[in-house]
């Protein structure tokens, strides 16, 4: 029945069904070029690998897709529906500027032709298409922009800013260096020529039924066709930001799709009856090559050879983002106009990544039959582990690129160039002899990939990232008096780092004015960015009023606790409330302190943090648990350039909060005689990673002899699992057992598969005569220790909770947890305060 939504068609080739392979903007994508809320990219989610994975996960979870389409089918359908390369703006002549029946965009940039071949003849497809409501419009437009390679060279009024960025200084050096190596002609803009060309080279309407190779216009001289004034730093689309460089995502997906069904295609099938007039060409292409590296190399060969008669083919064109966070605009450094931009740096990376992933797909699918596209991307663009083994990671791209066999690359590129030649209008006719330019292109590609990309290495990746992941429900209370351009990059940074996502953290956006919800709790980065725009920020009530914010946040969090009781939630995530303040806080101390205490007592596992643009320690300290660590001053610049250094402290604090293990019968009211009995939840740890938990004294203050936490493992994974616990160490590890002269209370045990597991006894853990706040929580860690860094990552975890197939499953059991609320201690709140003070100053 579900299949009804996706009609199966028997056609071997689906050109008719593929609106993105036609020579006009696909009907379903036109909205992205018409509706002002999507043409302004600041309103669609940033182009990052995290957002791409998030949107793909949403598609995979769609009821028409989940359990209906396999990885190969889904990847092809995503490319078909959302990737349309080469869409360019064409400035209408003033006389027709006002017509409403013309959309001044059409797929005319060179990248269109290769993708058309790919969609219509190379990627195997036998299903019709994804339903048009699979994702909403903002996500659709974001996905389209992330997958579709094109260049927008319209001059923008930010003309200067593109040269100011520090990234650009580095780029320019790289560029001029390259010019020494590979000479390219510099064409100057000729205004007279432009003006005449503008008339003749005008792009008007296309007949959608026309095939592509009927028109012949000046091919690469965008300034002639597009607009009169050309930007110094044209926008390159189809690029996503990753920690390991900027990547053309379309090539990555195309590589995965082509690799998932390896096949050879006779080149006559690609030439559609035209005669291949290039000698010494192999008769077939292997789908993976034109889908990735050979596709771009062939474009470079054909265009550079016909336009400049060049036998030396230049690859690589650098660029950068004009922001450090929430990246949306990738700018090419193009001081010489748009020459030699057929294979830009992001396309090189995307080609290599797509090739590597495509090559491993058959083995991967064989090992993990249910593997999903989002998982493949997630495993490759990640700090540790990788696809099947740890060499297959984005950080290892440079070494991976050198494993691509040169002879194959040359043969495949030559064959595909010959086929593409019959499909793409060029500014000359090739009458033989492409071997030399192809050899040059392949050699330059290999040299460039080895020397010029300078991406973060695996060693540096591992030392600069933590080996634990944050999984927190973050409540972000934002003061709307922050300028949006200042606070948005900081928020974006934080959400990336705590991994808001299906398997990670959630975010809820509130106002500091009254605690009202601005963006509902979401696990989707893409949805958060769609909702939290400049317009939404400006509509928020400004200012900080803790007296009204704290009670409504308390109510919100108490409702969450009651929901958790209803759903029998035992743990797995932490909860953090973070205030981002830009105005001075004025409070009636007595009232607000009491409110803070109520929140503290009724939501015991919540960590409340304050980050403020000015030092407000004197006002805020009575409201916190730990005045030295829970209040941070952040000095954010207006352009978002110093986010990392300022938000690092906040991030560290958020990351230090252990995942909760709770008694779900407590809810928000903590009934005193409510015992949990035995209950458990399942959790997962990645090889080489560690999970941290905390159990608050609110579940063990008054003694019960059988109260304990038990951690066990029923199925072995790679390596060993070590369980540690401590009262003093927030993040206990084996290495903390002996810490020189100081005594450590850290205790660790290795799990044995199949037995009763490691038992952490909570009997008599508190002095019952002292208030609950004086009793320390239990901190527990579950660490996966793997033998070497190059472990083969076997056993497939296919459960819903498994982010990666190699995740290791274990079980956390609570036994006889109680419910003890701090609110019984109202009478000695003053004593407490003093105690806290003394404690903090000692």
Ligand X SMILES: *[C@@H]1O[C@H](CO)[C@@H](O)[C@H](O)[C@H]1NC(C)=O
Pick the closer one to ligand X by CB: 18 or 600.
Answer: 600
Binding mask 515-554 toward ligand X (x if CB under 6 A, else -) reads --x--x----------------------------------
Q: Which residues contact 169 (CB under 8 A, 6 or more apart)?
A: none
Q: Shortest gap between Cβ of 458 and ligand X (angstroms)?
A: 20
Q: Buried b vs exposed e over 559-597: b needs ≥16 C-beta within 10 Å?
A: ebbeebbeeebbbbbbbbbbbbbbbebebeeeebbebbb
The answer to whether the CB of 321 falls within 8 A of the CB of 237 is no
The answer to whether the CB of 619 falls within 8 A of the CB of 587 is yes
DSSP state, residue 819: -
Regarding 569 and contact with ligand X (CB under 6 A), the answer is: yes
DSSP state, residue 11: -
Out of 323, 545, 655, 821, name the contact with ligand X by CB under 6 A: 323
Out of 735, 738, 790, 831, name the contact with ligand X by CB under 6 A: 735
Regarding 154 and contact with ligand X (CB under 6 A), the answer is: no
DSSP state, residue 187: P
Q: Which residues contact 118 (CB under 8 A, 6 or more apart)?
A: 79, 254, 290, 291, 295
Q: Buried b vs exposed e over 448-471: b needs ≥16 C-beta within 10 Å?
A: bbeebbebbebeebeeeeeebbbb
Q: What is the CA radius of gyration of the chain?
A: 29
Site of tokens 């819903």:
800
Q: Binding residues for ligand X, how many (CB under 6 A)?
A: 34
Out of 132, 166, 403, 678, name the contact with ligand X by CB under 6 A: 132
Judged by CB under 6 A, the chain residues 794 through 833 that form the site for ligand X are 832
The answer to whether the CB of 450 falls within 8 A of the CB of 478 is no
Judged by CB under 6 A, the chain residues 463 through 502 that form the site for ligand X are 471, 473
Q: Determine the interface stretch with ligand X among 212-220, 237-245, 425-433, 568-576 (rule: CB under 6 A).
A: 568-576
| Best CA proximity match to 117, nearest among 83, 78, 75 | 83
Out of 503, 513, 684, 806, name the contact with ligand X by CB under 6 A: 503
Regarding 600 and contact with ligand X (CB under 6 A), the answer is: yes
Q: Determine the interface stretch with ligand X among 195-203, 247-255, 376-384, 732-740 (rule: CB under 6 A).
A: 732-740
Regarding 779 and contact with ligand X (CB under 6 A), the answer is: no
Regarding 778 and contact with ligand X (CB under 6 A), the answer is: no
Q: Shortest gap between Cβ of 765 and ligand X (angstroms)?
A: 14
Pick the closer one to ligand X by CB: 161 or 277.
Answer: 161
Angle between helices 589-602 and 546-566 (to 10 degrees): 10
Q: Shortest gap between Cβ of 661 and ligand X (angstroms)?
A: 12
Out of 245, 411, 572, 688, name the contact with ligand X by CB under 6 A: 572
Pick the closer one to ligand X by CB: 217 or 828.
Answer: 828
Regarding 138 and contact with ligand X (CB under 6 A), the answer is: no
Number of helical H runs and strand E runs in the chain: 28, 25
| Best CA proximity match to 296, nearest among 106, 450, 85, 76 | 85
Regarding 133 and contact with ligand X (CB under 6 A), the answer is: yes
Regarding 836 and contact with ligand X (CB under 6 A), the answer is: yes
Out of 635, 638, 769, 827, name the contact with ligand X by CB under 6 A: 635
Q: Determine the interface stretch with ligand X among 154-162, 219-227, 298-306, 750-758 (rule: CB under 6 A).
A: 154-162
Site of tokens 């934002």:
478
Phi, psi (5° rounding) for residue 295? Answer: -60, -50
Regarding 767 and contact with ligand X (CB under 6 A), the answer is: no
Judged by CB under 6 A, the chain residues 157 through 196 that form the site for ligand X are 158, 161
Q: Determine the interface stretch with ligand X among 65-73, 82-90, 100-108, 734-742 (rule: CB under 6 A).
A: 734-742
Phi, psi (5° rounding) for residue 510? Answer: -125, 165
Regarding 729 and contact with ligand X (CB under 6 A), the answer is: yes
Judged by CB under 6 A, the chain residues 603 through 632 that form the site for ligand X are 623, 625
Regarding 738 and contact with ligand X (CB under 6 A), the answer is: no
Q: How far apart are CA 824 and CA 671, in angstroms?
A: 11
Pick the closer one to ligand X by CB: 85 or 564.
Answer: 564
Q: Determine the interface stretch with ligand X among 269-277, 383-391, 548-556, 567-575 (rule: CB under 6 A).
A: 567-575
Pairing label, strands 708-712, 720-726: unpaired
Q: How far apart are CA 519 and CA 512, in angstroms?
A: 13
Which residues contact ligand X (rule: CB under 6 A)?
132-133, 156, 158, 161, 322-323, 329, 471, 473, 503-504, 517, 520, 564, 569, 572-573, 596-597, 600, 623, 625, 635, 637, 642, 729, 733, 735-736, 739, 773, 832, 836
């Amino acid at each position: 029945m579900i299949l009804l939504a996706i009609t199966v068609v028997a056609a071997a080739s689906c050109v008719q069904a593929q609106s993105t392979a036609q020579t006009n903007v696909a009907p379903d994508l036109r909205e992205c070029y018409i509706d002002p809320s999507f043409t302004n990219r600041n309103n669609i989610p940033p182009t990052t690998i995290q957002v791409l994975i998030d949107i793909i996960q949403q598609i995979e979870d769609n009821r028409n897709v989940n359990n209906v389409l396999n990885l190969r089918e889904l990847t092809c359908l995503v490319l078909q529906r959302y990737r349309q390369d080469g869409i360019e703006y064409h400035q209408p002549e003033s006389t027709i500027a006002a017509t409403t029946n013309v959309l001044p965009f059409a797929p005319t940039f060179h990248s269109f032709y290769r993708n058309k071949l790919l969609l219509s003849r190379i990627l195997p497809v036998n299903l019709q298409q994804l339903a048009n409501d699979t994702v909403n419009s903002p996500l659709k437009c974001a996905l389209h922009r992330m997958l579709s390679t094109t260049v927008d060279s319209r001059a923008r009024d930010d003309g200067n800013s593109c040269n100011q960025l520090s990234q650009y200084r580095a780029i320019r050096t790289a560029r001029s260096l390259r010019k020494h190596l590979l000479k390219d002609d510099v064409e100057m803009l000729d205004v007279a020529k432009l003006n005449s060309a503008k008339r003749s080279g005008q792009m008007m309407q296309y007949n959608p039924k026309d095939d592509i190779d009927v028109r012949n216009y000046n091919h690469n001289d965008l300034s002639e066709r597009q607009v009169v004034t050309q930007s110094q730093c044209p926008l390159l689309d189809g690029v996503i930001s990753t920690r390991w460089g900027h990547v053309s995502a379309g090539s990555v997906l195309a590589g995965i799709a082509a690799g998932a069904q390896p096949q050879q295609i006779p080149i006559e099938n690609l030439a559609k009856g035209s005669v291949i007039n290039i000698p010494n060409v192999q008769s077939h292409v292997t789908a993976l090559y034109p889908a990735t590296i050979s596709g771009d190399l062939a474009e470079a060969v054909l265009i550079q050879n016909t336009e400049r008669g060049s036998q030396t083919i230049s690859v690589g064109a650098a660029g950068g983002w004009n922001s450090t966070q929430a990246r949306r605009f990738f700018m090419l450094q193009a001081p010489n106009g748009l020459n030699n931009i057929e294979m830009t740096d992001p396309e090189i990376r995307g080609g290599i990544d797509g090739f590597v992933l495509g090559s491993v797909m058959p083995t991967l699918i064989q090992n993990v039959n249910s593997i999903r596209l989002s998982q493949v991307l997630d495993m490759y663009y990640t700090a540790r582990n990788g696809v099947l083994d740890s060499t297959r990671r984005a950080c290892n791209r440079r070494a991976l690129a050198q494993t691509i066999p040169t002879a194959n690359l040359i043969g495949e590129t030559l064959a595909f160039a010959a086929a593409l030649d019959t499909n793409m209008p060029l500014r000359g006719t090739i009458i033989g002899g492409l071997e030399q330019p192809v050899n040059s292109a392949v050699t330059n590609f290999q040299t460039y990939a080895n020397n010029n990309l300078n991406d973060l290495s695996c060693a540096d990746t591992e030392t600069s990232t933590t080996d634990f992941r944050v999984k927190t429900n973050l409540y972000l209370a934002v003061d709307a008096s922050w300028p949006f351009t200042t606070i948005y990059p900081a928020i974006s940074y934080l959400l990336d780092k705590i991994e808001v996502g299906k398997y990670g953290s959630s975010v809820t956006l509130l106002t500091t004015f009254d605690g009202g919800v601005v963006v509902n709790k979401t696990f989707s980065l893409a949805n958060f960015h769609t909702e939290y725009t400049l317009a939404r920020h400006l509509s928020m009530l400004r200012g900080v009023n803790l007296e009204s914010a704290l009670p409504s946040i308390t109510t919100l969090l108490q409702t969450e606790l009651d929901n958790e009781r209803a759903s029998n939630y035992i743990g797995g995530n932490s909860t953090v409330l973070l205030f981002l303040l830009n105005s001075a806080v004025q409070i009636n101390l007595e009232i607000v302190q009491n409110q803070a205490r109520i929140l503290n007592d009724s939501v015991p596992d919540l960590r409340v943090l304050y980050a403020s643009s000015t030092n407000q320690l004197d006002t805020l300290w009575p409201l916190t648990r730990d005045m030295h660590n829970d209040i941070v001053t952040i000095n954010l610049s207006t352009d978002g350039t110093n986010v990392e250094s300022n938000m690092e402290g906040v991030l560290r604090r958020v990351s230090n909060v252990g995942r909760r293990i709770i008694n779900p019968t407590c809810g928000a009211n903590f009934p005193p005689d409510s015992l949990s009995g035995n209950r458990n939840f399942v959790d997962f740890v990645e090889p080489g990673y560690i999970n941290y938990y905390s159990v608050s004294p609110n579940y063990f203050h008054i003694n019960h002899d059988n109260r304990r936490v038990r951690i066990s493992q029923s199925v072995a994974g790679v390596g060993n699992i070590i369980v540690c616990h401590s009262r003093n160490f927030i993040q206990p590890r084996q290495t903390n057992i002996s810490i020189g002269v100081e005594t450590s209370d850290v205790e660790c045990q290795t799990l044995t598969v199949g037995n009763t597991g490691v038992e952490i006894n909570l009997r008599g853990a508190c002095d019952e005569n002292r208030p609950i706040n004086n009793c320390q929580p239990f901190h527990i860690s579950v660490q996966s220790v793997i033998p070497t860094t190059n472990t083969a990552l076997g056993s497939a975890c296919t459960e819903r909770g498994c982010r990666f197939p190699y995740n290791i499953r274990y079980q956390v059991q609570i036994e006889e947890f109680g419910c003890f609320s701090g609110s019984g201690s109202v009478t000695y709140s003053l004593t407490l305060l003093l105690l806290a003070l003394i404690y903090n100053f000692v």
